[in-house]
Structure 1
Amino acid sequence: MSDAADMFDAGRIQVIEGLEAIRKRPGMYVGSTSQRGLHQMVFEALNPAVHEVLMRGAGSVDVTLTSDGGVRVADDGPGVPFESAGDAAAPGLEAQLTSLYAGWELGGHRGARRDLFGIGLSTVNALSSRLIAEVRREGVREIQEHARGVALTPPTPAGPATGSGTTLAFWPDADIFETTECSYDVLAECFRELAFLNRGLRMSLTDERPPGGAVTERFEGGVRDFVAFLETDVKGEPAHPDILDFEVEDPRMAGSVEVALRWCDSRDAVVRSFANSRRTHEGGEHVEGFRAGLAAALTAYARERRLLTAADPGLDADSVGEGLTAVVSVKLDRPEFHGATRTLLAGAEVRSCVEAAVRDHVGTWLERHPEQASAVVHRIVRGAGRD
């Protein structure tokens, strides 16, 4: 064996334990040490807060960008106890903050997951120069302070609590990140999406830094309201008055799909897709299923009304998508993705389930709304050059 080979023996293997691994390679856990990674820190802190609220069916999550460079995430849930209630219980808040993979589980609720690798709050703690956790529960307020992933004090009573909930205030470590300044505009857009995709969720963002700013979002119409919002940037009037929307639970993909859409007198198409409330910028199987189901429903209707002959090819996904504004959102127990960025959804069963749901519901809408259906299908057939 050569001298070079001798250099790589077991004695030279470095073992990094606990949260130090996150601090050593932060990009592996939040994607980047740029502002993008900084925003991912906010989402990691936001996930359990949104989960707590959605589990109760309604409520609010408030995020504040503080004047001293910190971020405060507060919810009005029941309050996550610092310690676990037993072996079968979910990890307590202290364990979630200080242990890898001690994070929360959805427990059957698929509302929102914008984390990257399921590590969650321990990532936020490890990459913050300072973090203060506050729990308001059963009339008592407790706090615990951390620095760079290490608890400085045990959970300490801090007087009576007004209401309930959990608050995390953290200051991203300037030794880790290229910048510690979050973008109010970027976060406001992301929070608006969360509110659209989770009906009844109230999201607020307050910027205490000059020049300041504040916004509160809540949408009872869900993705239906999302489509109406997206249409404000579309040139052209709606081709039909109704926004078509539906939601279907399908055990074959262990999840649900929610869709809203409307055509406008425009050549542009705007289709936003999401998996567990996370934007899938590259699309994926849910988008392919949506496009295929839409084309199948419109082709069947056009053939039935003899707008297409038996010899004509079916309408393709591109032609039926012209002038379309749509939101496709799937919420899955076990989402699968291509690549580590989680922006391209995988899963053949997702495609088949979404395709079937879209085909059935769009087909039913066309049958029940003949005037609107006629306006849509005639326009698409003319655009395809077959009329």
Structure 2
Amino acid sequence: MSAEDLRYDAACIEVLEGVEAVRKRPGMWVGSTGERGLYQMVFEAVGRAVNAVLAVGGGRVDVTLTSDGGVIVEDDGPGLPFESDAIPEVPSLEAMLTSCQAGPEPAGRHIAYVGQFQVGLIVVNALSGRLTAEVRREGVRRAQEYVRGVALAPSVAVGSTTTTGTSIAFWPDAEIFETTRYSFAVLAERLRQVAFLHRGVEMSLTDHRPDAGTREVRFRFPEGVRDFVAALGAEAGSFCAEDVVAFEREDPRMAGTMEVALLWCGRDDRLRGFVNGRRSYEGGTHLDGFRDGLATAVTEYGRDRGLLTPAAVDAGAAGILEGVTAVVSVKLDHPEFLGATRTLLGGAEVRACVRDAVREHVGAWLVEHPEDAVRIVDGINRRADRD
């Protein structure tokens, strides 16, 4: 190999921007060109819609699988203008569809993270063979069509309207993705989670694909994670005599809020943690704090009344947590994740805040529900003595 072949300078650098950059390396933006990336496309569009309705206190987000393989994500939010100067300091819809830097990435406890990456609508546009955006705003419907991320023409008025909102219809590019077929069950499960975690949002999923037959599910949960835990308990197939224990608290020490719900149900512990609406699969300090607080509350209650057996005391937190179904959802201004995947939460202050809150609320619940408390402690004793 000659020296000329080994030469590397500025002329060798290829600079890619915008849509071109996304299409060149799609896996960098959505995780893969397989099913994972395909679902990320939907979650990016749903995330924008959920945040649009949350910004005005709540609303509806509808997802439709069309008969020709497309996906429509529609919301009844205020509608984002196509024009870049319509609302100062707010990126236009056209900019979001075509620019990687349409504005600063939204942050804070009031932002819902539906997908894993938050890379924006430009990725949905760039990796779609075709995309149509429609905005209903100020009595006018405006629409714009794209092919592989490139607009065919400027946005145009297509009619009048008495409603508001935004609709994004897209068809994943079969030249990029290994499959373009979605599982109804996978999408429904994630949309159901979003509805549980954001009680002001109603979610729906409709399937018009010919081989499936039209089907629809709709999710709205006024009680938030309390409803989430009740559903998990029902899915476990066990009879749960105890009421769901649930509470919410804001704590300035962690610059955020927590929503916690739990019940003792069956033998297996089922703990699910979420950070700003995103599942923390690897756990983190919010779940550590939950375990600490629950173990302390039950141990203090049982010891003070002489209810815990020596074997149960020796079993410690593991014995107390057995059979617990719980959801711990924290929404933080500045979440501190450990690692690039954002599935493991750090922050010692989060652990302390959740621990203190769980200890206080569960301890008070046990005192207020003595019959249930005795039944719970008896179950802990039986399992410890058996083991």
Q: Secondary structure at the match of 1:246?
A: strand
User: Comparing 87-96 with 208-217, which one deviates more in the overlay?
Assistant: 87-96
Supply the distance in 2 between the matched residues of 1:66 and 1:103 (Cα, whole angstroms). Answer: 31
Pair 1:178-2:155 in alignment: no
The corresponding residue for 2:134 is 134
Aligned length: 384
Supply the distance in 1 between the matched residues of 2:87 and 2:197 (Cα, whole angstroms). Answer: 34
Query: In structure 2, do the counterparts of structure 1 residues 229 and 9 end up closer, same or farther at CA, with 3 Å as the change threshold?
Result: same
The corresponding residue for 1:243 is 244
Alignment of 1:252-271 (within 5 A): 252-264=253-265, 266-271=266-271
Contact preservation (8 Å) 2:61, 2:75? yes
The corresponding residue for 1:279 is 279
Query: In structure 2, do the counterparts of structure 1 residues 272 and 103 end up closer, same or farther at CA, with 3 Å as the change threshold?
Result: farther
Report the CA distance between 1:100 and its aligned residue: 0.4
Contact preservation (8 Å) 2:65, 2:209? yes
Supply the distance in 2 between the matched residues of 1:77 and 1:34 (Cα, whole angstroms). Answer: 31
Report the CA distance between 1:8 and its aligned residue: 2.1
The corresponding residue for 1:91 is 91
Supply the distance in 2 between the matched residues of 1:45 and 1:337 (Cα, whole angstroms). Answer: 24
The corresponding residue for 1:363 is 363
Deviations 1:211-256, CA, capped at 9 Å, x for gaps: 232111111111111111111222432142x110001111222211
Alignment of 1:137-216 (within 5 A): 137-210=137-210, 211-212=212-213, 213-216=215-218
Give me the identity figure in percent.
Answer: 60
The corresponding residue for 2:69 is 69
Supply the distance in 2 between the matched residues of 1:237 and 1:79 (Cα, whole angstroms). Answer: 46
Report the CA distance between 1:51 and its aligned residue: 0.8
Contact preservation (8 Å) 1:29, 1:116? no
Task: Output the amino acid matched with 2:183.
Answer: S
Supply the distance in 1 between the matched residues of 2:106 and 2:231 (Cα, whole angstroms). Answer: 29
Query: In structure 2, do the counterparts of structure 1 residues 314 and 289 end up closer, same or farther at CA, with 3 Å as the change threshold?
Result: farther
Report the CA distance between 1:383 and its aligned residue: 2.3
The corresponding residue for 1:10 is 10
Query: In structure 2, do the counterparts of structure 1 residues 369 and 64 end up closer, same or farther at CA, with 3 Å as the change threshold?
Result: same
Pair 1:227-2:229 in alignment: yes
Deviations 1:263-282, CA, capped at 9 Å, x for gaps: 12x22122222112222222
Supply the distance in 2 between the matched residues of 1:46 and 1:176 (Cα, whole angstroms). Answer: 21
Unaligned runs of 5+ in 2: none
Unaligned runs of 5+ in 1: none
Deviations 1:45-95, CA, capped at 9 Å, x for gaps: 011111111222231100001111111000011111112347852111111
Query: In structure 2, do the counterparts of structure 1 residues 108 and 370 end up closer, same or farther at CA, with 3 Å as the change threshold?
Result: same
Contact preservation (8 Å) 1:146, 1:152? yes
Q: Secondary structure at the match of 2:203?
A: strand
User: Comparing 213-222 with 228-237, which one deviates more in the overlay?
Assistant: 228-237
Task: Output the amino acid matched with 1:360.
Answer: E
Contact preservation (8 Å) 2:311, 2:385? no
The corresponding residue for 2:41 is 41
Contact preservation (8 Å) 2:109, 2:256? no
Pair 1:119-2:129 in alignment: no
Deviations 1:138-169, CA, capped at 9 Å, x for gaps: 10110111122222211111111231100000
Supply the distance in 1 between the matched residues of 2:168 and 2:183 (Cα, whole angstroms). Answer: 19
Query: In structure 2, do the counterparts of structure 1 residues 208 and 87 end up closer, same or farther at CA, with 3 Å as the change threshold?
Result: closer
The corresponding residue for 1:56 is 56
User: Comparing 49-58 with 111-120, which one deviates more in the overlay?
Assistant: 111-120
Query: In structure 2, do the counterparts of structure 1 residues 107 and 117 end up closer, same or farther at CA, with 3 Å as the change threshold?
Result: closer
Supply the distance in 1 between the matched residues of 2:377 and 2:84 (Cα, whole angstroms). Answer: 58
The corresponding residue for 2:352 is 352
* TM-score normalised to structure 2 length: 0.92
The corresponding residue for 2:304 is 304
Supply the distance in 1 between the matched residues of 2:333 and 2:56 (Cα, whole angstroms). Answer: 18
Contact preservation (8 Å) 2:312, 2:384? no
Report the CA distance between 1:288 and its aligned residue: 1.2
Contact preservation (8 Å) 1:81, 1:93? yes
* TM-score normalised to structure 1 length: 0.92
Supply the distance in 2 between the matched residues of 1:126 and 1:10 (Cα, whole angstroms). Answer: 27
User: Comparing 79-88 with 69-78, which one deviates more in the overlay?
Assistant: 79-88
Deviations 1:112-141, CA, capped at 9 Å, x for gaps: 212333321111111111111100001011
Supply the distance in 2 between the matched residues of 1:122 and 1:103 (Cα, whole angstroms). Answer: 12
Report the CA distance between 1:308 and its aligned residue: 4.7
The corresponding residue for 2:378 is 378
Q: Secondary structure at the match of 2:129?
A: strand
Supply the distance in 2 between the matched residues of 1:385 and 1:183 (Cα, whole angstroms). Answer: 45
Contact preservation (8 Å) 1:101, 1:119? no
